[in-house]
Structure 1
Amino acid sequence: MLPTAFIHSLKGIPGFDAEAFMAAHQQTQGITSIRFNPFKKPYLKEIPFSSLLQAPVPWATDAWYLTERPSFTLDPLLHAGAYYVQEASSMFIEAILNQTIPNPTNEVVLDISAAPGGKTTLLSAYFKHGIVVANEIIKSRAAILSENVMKWGTDNIIVTNNEPRHFEKLSHFFDVILLDAPCSGSGLFRKDKNAVEEWSVENVAACSLRQQKISKEIIGCLKPGGLFIYSTCSYSVEEDENITDYLCNEYGLESVRVQIQPEWGIVEVQSSLNAAWGYRFFPDKVKGEGFFVAVFKKPNVIEGVFQNWLEAHIAIPSAKQTAPIEAMFQIPDFYQFFLQEDSFKIISKVYWRTLLMVSKHLYIKRAGISLGSLKGKDFIPSHELALSLLQLPSVNQIELHLNEALAYLRKQPIELNGNMGWNAVSYCGLRLGWVKVLPNRVNNYYPSEWRILKD
């Protein structure tokens, strides 16, 4: 049962049909959608659960609705990063980018509230020649974000674990900022029953103030002429249209109208004070959950003074240290080596200066691709390396059957025929991780904290 005060608060909102809205929330079967990883799909030998692919998500590339929700946990390709399970409405971010930045080049992008990583991976794919800074303030959620980014496999995502105010020192730094704002969560009532119990008028008001605070702390990071995308999973005007008015009034942002197709069922709205455009997703009108998004452009007028972006010092290993690693994995020369704690890492040289500047002011949880670490004289390859897009032509790869792959992902002992030493194991053409073949056994190096516990 939806709160009476909640239904009352939506009356008068364009597109709101109380009867149809409440009927949609009575449906027991949820809507499941996935978005394929464009970097890994070309290497797939088999499309996962192809029989369940029902119809494309109309506003996203290679994204699909499924006829039913399979057990994703028991699909090795989820763990290999072949796709991301993402709510369809939130994929509309791609349609916005297609219209506002149709020819992306080397943009620097900020996803300020990024966990668990659906929009981050979407941004990584769209800005494949740029770099995405994905931030999450909560430590546990930042760990989940890092895991999903590792599975995605690219080196163009920097994961940070900071409060929004920490970004103030990077003034006029980002070409695009996405604020998927913490909200009251009414758009997720069908998926999350706890959200229904936690909803209140007071919480909506508190979220609205928090959204304004975050906006204030990060708006100075956006370059003149840059794009600001604001979204929530809330239906409340206080968190949606009222915030768009706030952004226009306080910071002079210019509302951007996005073209939508009538058959999509998305409701176009305008705010009361500035007629700022917004796009609301009602579950009785679209095939997806509740969502709101608005797009703005920052005026080209430069206000204030650009801060001097200082570069941090990041430890760089010597050529003597990296030579055997380069030989072992045939690392292309367009990568920059660096050290983070005891891990040898690489990142494309085109992203190097951005990493230096970001790391001067922020806590970097993950950046580039971790290759591994030295243990005595032995080099231990990282799990992240196995999941990366690096080709690793010198590494022997063992293709696993489904039962073998699941045993590996459960970190169970497995019997394999491979070369002595390190071998990558794969499923349907995508790497899952490492094993080490010894004379009398095979050591399973799948991370213990990631292992499948489900039978």
Structure 2
Amino acid sequence: MVANEADPRRAAILAENLAKHGAPGVAVTVGPAERFSALPSAFDIIAADAPCSGEGMMRKEPVAVEQWSPTLIESCAAMQRSIVESLWKALKPGGFFIYSTCTFNRREDEDVARHMAEQLGAEPVALPMELFPGALPGDGAHCCRFLPGRVRGEGLFMALLRKPDGEACSKKTSKKRGTNAQRPMPSLAEFAKDHIDSAERFCVAGDSLVPRAHAEFAASLGAAVRPLSIGLRPAELKGRSLAPTHMLAMSSVLAAGSFPSAELDYASALAYLRGESLPDVPDGLPQGYFTPLWHGIPLGFAKNIGRRANNLYPDPLRLRLGADKLPASVPAPIVDL
């Protein structure tokens, strides 16, 4: 999966949130959607949440009301048409295109979907409205609206279209940008064998691991757009040795038992998430890196140096609230089964 955000600040937040979900086969890129036209027929599904006039946000954001004008709508519609035209080239024949905005006017919604059908040959696909209780059908079975007051949350428009079979684009890659190729990090392959579940499914690309099945695509992605992260970055150099990253602790492919672990009580777990050192190291815990757990769920990494453990929880993620602002009673853990 490739997640793109044009704004660098928001892209960094996007990468942070995706790392928390632990999926190893994810790339985050930064830049305008137009760059994806250099990846012809690359994606099975494209979901484009296009910049818009923000009418669906007017209830909670006064600036959405202040900036609204008919001129803004026309400007947004032109930009949306440009975005979908570029992304359409990157969609495989037979692939699906989900177009969405957080606005309500037809010019930015149904008219853009109609432009895709008339100018790009997109085929409308009927939406299963029973899956969206409270949503209203739009102009066509492939369109629907989510309105405040009828559904939870703010406003949204969505349309589903399909690229006809047999419309493959020529497989040309951009030569204007570098390939962003990096030399493999020393010993990363050995580190992966020790700490990654089914490590043979991944290959080393610079300082990251990418699924072997998508290695060629990952290389072409770096040649066309600016990647912020590709795949899993499991370790970083600390002096002459590799130290596990927080991304590895969150990853679904961290091999069970590859690091020692220590179960924390609620108070200690909160202290760890605030970035505090762990003074009470369990007896028998070997020195070196280990994973603090809460109800068996890894929280990150720490390093046992003997009498105490250094907290390696990333500073930007640490809880800033004081202990008096956090829940006093122990919450029930939510585990995705």
Q: Distance in 2 between matches of 1:411 and 1:238?
A: 49
Q: Does 1:179 align with 2:48?
A: yes
Q: Distance in 2 between matches of 1:330 and 1:141?
A: 29
Find 1:238's aligned residue among 66, 90, 107.
107
**Which residue in the other structure is 1:81 paired with?**
none
How many residues matched? Answer: 315
Q: Does 1:149 align with 2:18?
A: yes
The 3-state SS of whatever aligns with 2:107 is helix
**Which residue in the other structure is 1:24 paired with?**
none
Find 1:351's aligned residue among 179, 203, 214.
214
Q: Quick one: structure 1 residues 370 and 224, their matched pair in 2 at CA, closer, same or farther if it must change by over 3 Å?
A: same
- Kept in 2, the 8 Å contact 1:316–1:337? The answer is no
Find 1:332's aligned residue among 198, 201, 212.
198
**Which residue in the other structure is 1:383 paired with?**
246
Q: How does 1:282-297 map to 2 (within 5 A)?
A: 282-297=147-162
* TM-score after normalising by structure 1: 0.64
The 3-state SS of whatever aligns with 1:261 is helix
**Aligned AA (2:51):** P
**Which residue in the other structure is 1:394 paired with?**
258
Q: Does 1:190 align with 2:59?
A: yes
Give the deviation of 1:167 after TM superposition: 1.2
Q: Distance in 1 between matches of 2:132 and 2:199?
A: 48
Q: How does 1:440-455 map to 2 (within 5 A)?
A: 440-455=307-322
Q: Distance in 1 between matches of 2:39 and 2:249?
A: 33
Q: Distance in 1 between matches of 2:131 and 2:204?
A: 50
Q: Distance in 2 between matches of 1:279 and 1:191?
A: 22
Q: Distance in 2 between matches of 1:263 and 1:379?
A: 47
- Kept in 1, the 8 Å contact 2:123–2:162? The answer is yes
Find 1:422's aligned residue among 263, 269, 289.
289
Q: Quick one: structure 1 residues 266 and 421, their matched pair in 2 at CA, closer, same or farther if it must change by over 3 Å?
A: same
Q: Distance in 2 between matches of 1:444 and 1:382?
A: 12
Find 1:403's aligned residue among 267, 274, 278.
267
Deviations 1:158-197 (A, max 9, x none): 1111221211111122111111111122212334343333
The 3-state SS of whatever aligns with 2:37 is helix
* TM-score after normalising by structure 2: 0.85
Q: Distance in 2 between matches of 1:421 and 1:376?
A: 15
Q: Does 1:266 align with 2:135?
A: yes
Give the deviation of 1:276 after TM superposition: 6.6
- Kept in 2, the 8 Å contact 1:231–1:294? The answer is yes
Q: Distance in 2 between matches of 1:323 and 1:306?
A: 35
**Aligned AA (2:3):** A
Deviates more, 1:143-152 or 1:366-375: 366-375
Q: Distance in 1 between matches of 2:144 and 2:195?
A: 47
- Unaligned stretches of 5+ in structure 1? 1-131
- Kept in 1, the 8 Å contact 2:193–2:199? The answer is no
CA RMSD between the two structures: 2.4
**Which residue in the other structure is 2:144 paired with?**
279
Q: Percent identity?
A: 31
Q: Does 1:257 align with 2:126?
A: yes
**Which residue in the other structure is 1:434 paired with?**
301
Q: Distance in 2 between matches of 1:133 and 1:185?
A: 25
Q: Distance in 2 between matches of 1:449 and 1:285?
A: 37
